[in-house]
Structure 1
C-alpha cells in the first residue's frame, strides 16, 4: 500500500484560461492552489520560476516544509491580498497571495511570483479582477464537490450505524452504486481533532487532504465521512492489512495533518479491528472510537491507537468518561503510592507484572540483584496487604496501574 503527497484535483478549463490570461498580462508566473497549498492549475514560466514552483509542477504540491511555511503566514485567515516572504533555504521566492473567497468560504489561493515584492497599480487591479472571476468559478466547482461528499458522508455514517436495518440498506446502496466491491475484509479508521485555532473549513479541508490518498490504493478501496473535528475512513480489502501497513498509513495521515494544521488541533488516530465483510464495518468503527480515545489519553501511543494492540486498555476505555476517575484505583495501590519509597516500589511492581512475574527478566530489566528484587517485592506485599503469588491480587494491581496511566493526562484527554 502506497500513498505519497497528494495532488489537488485538476482545475477546470475555465479556471486554467483565467490563470493563463492573467499570467500573460502580468508577464509573471501565476498559480492557483487549493487551501492546503496543493496545485490546482498553473501558468507557463516567465523566467521567474524557483525550485519550489518546479517541484510543485512535478509533484502536484510543494514539499511539506514549503507548505508549512506558506500556511504559517496565516493565509487561510487572510481577508485581503498580501505578500509572503521567500525562503532561501527552501528555494522559494516571495509571492503575492490572494485568498480566493466566495460567500465566506476559502476556496483557493492565487499566487503570483514577485521576486522584488513590487507590483504596480495596474498589476494589482488585474490580479483583483481575475481573482473575483476565479473565486466564482471555484465556488461552482465547490458546490458540485460538496454534493457528492455529503452523499458519501451519509453512506459511511449509515454503514457504521448501530441499527441493523440502517446498515443493511446502506450496504445495498453502496453495492448498487458501485462505490464498494465485495471485498472480504473491512477496516475503519477514525481521525479526531481538538478544538484548535484553525478555521472550520480549513480543518475539514485538511482532513480530506490527509485521507484522500487512501481512498484508492493498490490493496484497498475506501470512502470517507468528514466534518470539522472528525473523519472516518472505511476501507475494503482483499486481505487483512499487515500491522506494518496499518502503522504506515496512520503515520502518513498524521504527517499530513501536522503539515496542514496548527499544533493546537492535536490530531489523533484510532484504528478499528480487522473484520471479514462490510457487514462488520460498524464493529470496526466502534473499536476505532475506543482506539482514538486511547491515543488521546496515552502519550506513549504517539497519537495512534490500534484496537488490535490495546490489550486491557480496550476494555477499560469502554467505561463512560464520568466513570473513569480516581475512584477506580484500588486502595492497596493508593497505599503503595503514599508509602515511603512508593515511586520506586511502583516501578518495581509494574516491571514485575509486565514480565509476567518472572524474577530473572524483571531483575534484568531493572538491573537489580535478585536478592534486592525479592526484598522490594516483600515490601510491596507488606504495604498493600496483597499476595503477589495470587493471580487475582496481581490482576487487581495491574489493572490499577493501567487505570492510573489513563488518568495521568487528566480531563483534557477526553475524546
Structure 2
C-alpha cells in the first residue's frame, strides 16, 4: 500500500482524520476530512494559516526523542492532540497526528489507550512509507534540477533535449510562454537562503494552483522556470516571508519556446544586477521589462571599469568632499529633467538649498549643466558610476 492508502486505513480504524508532517512540519499526507469543521481545519493547515503541531510543542514535549504516541492538551478549549514520531531505520522522518475531536467518546468500545496502541503499531510501516515518499521527492527534485541546468546551459543541443524531456516527463506544461525567476543572496548572508526562496516558491505555487513549475539551485543562483509570465504580487508574497529578507530577485521576460528560456535566464541575471547595484531605485525584485537603458549599461564590464574612465566632470564631483550629497543632487536634477521645483520635491529640500548646491556643482565640475550634450555626459556618467559601485560612500 502507498503512504496515502495506509494513512486512510489507519484513520478509518481510529474514526478520526490523520495528518502526516515531515520534519519541517510541512504536510506530507492526510486522510479524508469528512465534516465541515475538519475540512476547514485542513484548509487552514494547507494554507499555513493554522497548525495544531508547532515547533514549540515539539520542543516542549520532546517529540523528537519520543518512542510512543504523546497525548497533548494545548489548552482547556482545544481537543487533545495525539502525536507519534515516524522513524525508519532509527532515523526521525516526521510525525503523524490527530486531533481527538470525536463527540462519541463515552459510547466507543475502544479506549484512548487502545487508540494510541493502534497508532503505534502502524508506526513502523508509516515510517517506511514516508521514507519512500521523501526519497521519491528528492529524486524528482534532482531530476528537475538536472534538466533545468541543461536547459539553461551553453549547448543548444542539450537545451533542445532537456526541453523535450521536461515536457515528456510532465515536469512543465507545453504552453506559449516561459519565463525565468532568479534568486540570489549577497554575502555575508548564508547561501542556504537562496534554496529556501526556491522551495518557498515551489511550495506556494503547488499549494495555490495546479500550474507545474520547475526549480533548483544552479551554482549560486536559485532558479524557477514558469510556464507563463511571473506574477508580481505573488513574488512579493514569497519575498515577504520571514527569514528571506536578504534575498533579491531578477525576472526575465516571457519567451515563446522552452529552449529560449535561456534568454529569459540571462535577462533575469541582468535584472538581479540592477537590484544589487541600485536597490534604492529598484528594490528587492526587478523585472527585465522595467530596466530601460540599464539593460545596456549593465552589460558593461564593470569589473574592469575605473573612475578615470568616467567623464571628467563626474570624476571631479565624485572625488569632492561633498561627493555623496552633490552627486545625489545632480542625479536627482537630471532625473527630473532639470526642473527646479520637481527636483526639490524629489530630494525633499528647499529650492534655495537646491540653487546653492547646483552652483557648487558647476564650480566643482567646471560644466555648464544647462547644455544638453553636457547633461547627457553627466547623466550617463553618474548612472554608470552608480551601477559600477563607484559612487562615493557616506
Answer yes or no: same fold by TM over 0.5.
yes
- Give the secondary structure class of the aligned counterpart of 2:260: helix
- Report the alpha carbon displacement of residue 54 of structure 1 after superposing the two structures with TM: 5.2
Counterpart of 1:152 in structure 2 is: 144
- Give the secondary structure class of the aligned counterpart of 2:227: strand
Relative to structure 1, the CA distance from residue 155 to residue 313 in structure 2 (aligned partners, 3 Å threshold; closer, same or farther) is same
Counterpart of 1:38 in structure 2 is: 27
- Report the alpha carbon displacement of residue 204 of structure 1 after superposing the two structures with TM: 7.2
TM-score normalised by the chain length of structure 1: 0.67
Counterpart of 1:224 in structure 2 is: 214
- Give the secondary structure class of the aligned counterpart of 1:184: coil
Counterpart of 2:10 in structure 1 is: 18
* Structure 1 position 373 matched with structure 2 position 340: no
Counterpart of 2:284 in structure 1 is: 303
* Structure 1 position 281 matched with structure 2 position 261: yes
Match of 1:352 among 333, 350, 357: 333
Matches within 5 A, 1:103-182: 107-113=93-99, 128-177=120-169
Aligned residues: 370
Relative to structure 1, the CA distance from residue 351 to residue 279 in structure 2 (aligned partners, 3 Å threshold; closer, same or farther) is same
| 1:100-157 deviation per Cα after TM superposition (whole angstroms, max 9, x unaligned) | 3546976543234479xxxx98877665544333221112223333333333332222
Q: Return the index of the structure with the highest Cα Rg.
A: 2
| 1:320-353 deviation per Cα after TM superposition (whole angstroms, max 9, x unaligned) | 7966898988885575466565554333212112
| 1:79-102 deviation per Cα after TM superposition (whole angstroms, max 9, x unaligned) | 3347889589xx976745555354
User: 2:334 & 2:267 partners in 1: Cα distance?
Assistant: 26
User: 2:226 & 2:193 partners in 1: Cα distance?
Assistant: 28
Relative to structure 1, the CA distance from residue 353 to residue 275 in structure 2 (aligned partners, 3 Å threshold; closer, same or farther) is farther
- Report the alpha carbon displacement of residue 224 of structure 1 after superposing the two structures with TM: 0.5
User: 1:281 & 1:317 partners in 2: Cα distance?
Assistant: 20
Counterpart of 1:268 in structure 2 is: 248
CA contact (8 A) 2:197 2:222 kept: no
* Structure 1 position 212 matched with structure 2 position 193: no
- Give the secondary structure class of the aligned counterpart of 1:270: strand
CA contact (8 A) 1:298 1:406 kept: no
User: 1:332 & 1:339 partners in 2: Cα distance?
Assistant: 11
Counterpart of 2:180 in structure 1 is: 188
Relative to structure 1, the CA distance from residue 367 to residue 209 in structure 2 (aligned partners, 3 Å threshold; closer, same or farther) is closer
User: 2:127 & 2:387 partners in 1: Cα distance?
Assistant: 53
TM-score normalised by the chain length of structure 2: 0.70
User: 2:393 & 2:12 partners in 1: Cα distance?
Assistant: 57
| Greater CA drift, 140-149 or 315-324 | 315-324
- Report the alpha carbon displacement of residue 395 of structure 1 after superposing the two structures with TM: 1.5
Unaligned runs of 5+ in 2: 102-111
| Greater CA drift, 225-234 or 326-335 | 326-335
Relative to structure 1, the CA distance from residue 279 to residue 63 in structure 2 (aligned partners, 3 Å threshold; closer, same or farther) is closer
- Report the alpha carbon displacement of residue 271 of structure 1 after superposing the two structures with TM: 0.9
User: 1:407 & 1:214 partners in 2: Cα distance?
Assistant: 45
- Give the secondary structure class of the aligned counterpart of 1:80: coil
